[in-house]
Structure formats: structure tokens, C-alpha cells
Amino acid sequence: MSQEQWSSVDEYICVSMVESDAALEAALADSKAAGMPLINVAPNQGKLLGLLASIQGAQRILEIGTLGGYSTIWLGRALPVAGRLITLELEPHHAEVARKNLERAGLAQVVEVKVGPALETLPQLERSEPPFDFVFIDADKANIPEYLDWSLRLTRPGSVIVVDNVVRKGAVADPTSADPSVLGVRRFNEKLSQLRNVSATTIQTVGSKGYDGFALVRVLSPSS
Ligand code: SAH
Ligand code: DHB
Ligand code: MG
């Protein structure tokens, strides 16, 4: 099994069942033209996020890690007309590109991009926002455990939390790893194992983005 094969199967899947359009393509093209890293979710992963948010019946979504807003478009499209999505981004330049991409996708009314370190913007949300139904955690990996804590404070029983990049080419299972991202994911997993009020699993994935995976967490009851 090779990266080449994973990519060609992803390509086949995307051609077969993942419809793209001008707004999604332009979001990727403009992110690339702006010199931003090409680390957005793959199209079939973006569609999965949208499907999960729809299945959840989400009306309020929180995203941590906007980049150019590619995943944000998939999530925003899963919302009802009166829905709301808040997405948190550290880099002002990323946020600026994302806002344009979201505007072009017709989501400017639904999505708000908040700029700053997420650990500074998340506490503001606790004061100003009702609970979120769905959270997508996809920013700096070393802080995933803190983002889980905040997500639990900002959600309700029944909410769903998805966390990207939690397998890291398999390095997550290496207890000797000193990689801050791996340590972040391992600390997240330890936290999860201590929590009695969530139900969670992780699925390994291969595809155009290599070998990685995502975690799916359901909030069962209020945090104590
Ligand atoms: N969700 C996007 C990809 C996000 S890439 C998509 O799939 O399309 C990760 C993003 O998180 C980058 O834009 C990076 O600037 C941002 N980021 C990194 N550290 C952060 C922090 N402390 N707070 C908020 N955003 C952060
Ligand atoms: C990176 C970040 C991501 O969110 C991702 O999906 C892939 C790679 C990165 O920081 O390299
Ligand atoms: Mg990611």
C-alpha cells in the first residue's frame, strides 16, 4: 500500500460522490495563491464533516482552526438558514483569506471568523454564546486537550466533537514520542479516558492527506 494508491482511491471517491463547485475550488485556489499551507481537509473529509453536522441536526457549530475556510464552507453548508458558525483563527492573514472565501460561498451572514489564539477567544464565547451542537477541533495539535476542555464547557449533552489529525502516521501509539503534536493527542486521549460524561472513539484513515485519523466524541451529560 502506498501514498500513490491512497491518493488515486481518494480521487476516485471524490469524482464518484463528492460534488465540488466554484466556491470550494476558489477557496483552495486563493488559499494557495496567498501562500497558505495546503493542510485543509480533503474533499471527502469535508463532506463527512457536513454529513456529521447534518446528521446531528446542528444549528450552532464551533470550529477551532479556520485556515482558508475550506472545512468551514462544508460545515456552514450543513446549517439551516438561521444557523450560526463561529470559527477561530490565530493568523490575521488566514482569517482575511477565509472571510473572502466564505463571502463568495454565500456564508458571510452565517459564519463569523474570530482572530486570535483560540485559548484567548474561547473564554469570550463562554460569556456570549449559547451552547454549540457540533465542534470541529483542527488547530495546533499541542493544545488539543485544552480545546477539549473548552469544547465541553461550550457544548451541551448530545453535542458532538470531531478532532482532526489524531493518529499522526501512527506516532500516536508511540509512548516515547517527544513530538509536541503527538504528546497533545496522547494527553487528549488520557483526558478522554478519565471522563465519565463522554463517549468517544478514534478512526484511522488513509487518503490524499496520508495516514492519519479523527476522533469522534459525544457529550452524554454535563461536565462536573
Ligand atoms: N480546518 C481547516 C484547516 C486548519 S489548519 C481546513 O480543514 O480547511 C490549522 C489552522 O489553525 C491554521 O490556519 C493555523 O493558523 C490555526 N492555528 C494554529 N494555532 C492556533 C491557535 N493557537 N489558535 C487558533 N488557530 C490556530
Ligand atoms: C497539519 C495540520 C492539519 O490540520 C492537517 O489536517 C494536516 C497537517 C499540519 O500542521 O501540518
Ligand atoms: Mg486537520
Q: Is 90 in the pocket of ligand 1 (CB under 6 A)?
A: yes
Q: Is the CB of 62 under 6 A from ligand 1?
A: no
Report whether pLDDT(121) > 90.
Answer: yes
Distance CA 98, CA 70 (A): 8
Quote the CA–CA distance of 211 and 2 in Å, as a whole number.
Answer: 10
Q: How much distance in Å is there from the Cα of 141 to the middle of ligand 1?
A: 9
pLDDT at 183: 98
Ligand nearest to the CA of 140: 1
Q: Which atom of ligand 1 is nearest to the CA of 118?
A: 23
DSSP calls for 165-176: --SGGGGGG-TT
Task: Return mean pLDDT, the chain.
Answer: 97
197-208: per-residue pLDDT in tens?
999 999 999 999
Q: Which residues surround ligand 3, an ion (CB under 5 A)?
A: 138, 164-165
Q: What is the pTM of this model?
A: 0.98
Nearest ligand for residue 75 CA: 1
89 Cβ below 6 A of ligand 1: yes
C-beta separation of 102 from 108 below 8 A: yes
Residue 223 has pLDDT above 90, yes or no: no
Tell me what percent of the residues of the chain surpass a pLDDT of 70: 100
The least confident of 23-27, 76-80, 94-98, 220-224 is 220-224
- The sign of the torsion formed by the CA atoms of 216, 60, 97, 32 equals positive
pLDDT of residue 1: 79
Q: Nearest bound ligand to CA 164?
A: 3
